[in-house]
Amino acid sequence: METPTARETDVRRSPLIRGLGGAAQRLWSVYGGYALGFVSLFLIWQLASLYVVSSVLFPPPTVVFTKGLLLVRNGVLLEDSTISMFRLAEAQLKQQGKLSKPLDYGAFVYPDLLRKVQPMKVNYKP
């Protein structure tokens, strides 16, 4: 039987270090493939939009994310997507049979109040 080195002994003594290494390893083994696929998807998208098909209809992801960030900062994207998310949730609940009556968006969204605060950013009409 070999004698462990000082470094190996320290690692064996510290459950915190062992736990973090094991947790990181488990995370990578479970989600690493997804992360790699996600990154490779955006890399292929970037390269294809720059070198294969460069058009207005197929912009690179960097342009899409930059524009999306600008819309979030201006409040436009969040405002339009909020109602869309309510409608998506409503459709899913109807499909599952868990919705007894149609949703009243007036209970969730107060466009009149928002118009008083920032009238230029409210385009939703009930």
The model's pLDDT over 44-102, given as tens digits with 9 standing for 90+, comes to 999 998 888 877 788 899 998 898 788 767 766 556 667 788 788 888 888 888 888 87
| List of long-range contacts for 8-15, beta carbons under 8 Å, 24+ apart | none
Average pLDDT for the chain: 76
Phi, psi torsion values for 103, nearest 5 degrees:
-70, 140
pLDDT at 14 over 70: no
pLDDT at 31 over 60: yes
User: Domain spans of the chain?
Assistant: 1-55, 75-126
pLDDT at position 79 is 65
Residues 116 and 5: their CA atoms lie apart, in Å, by 70
Are 111 and 123 in contact by the 8 Å Cβ rule? The answer is no
Residues 6 and 68: their CA atoms lie apart, in Å, by 51
Residue 30 neighbours by CB distance under 10 Å: 9
Q: Name residues whose C-beta falls within 8 Å of residue 124's C-beta, 6 or more positions apart in sequence.
A: 79, 83, 109, 111
Are 111 and 122 in contact by the 8 Å Cβ rule? The answer is yes
pLDDT at 125 over 70: no
pLDDT at position 85 is 80
> Helix (H, G, I), strand (E, B), or coil: what is residue 55?
strand
Phi, psi torsion values for 98, nearest 5 degrees:
-100, 5
pLDDT at position 80 is 66
pLDDT at position 37 is 93
pLDDT at 115 over 80: no
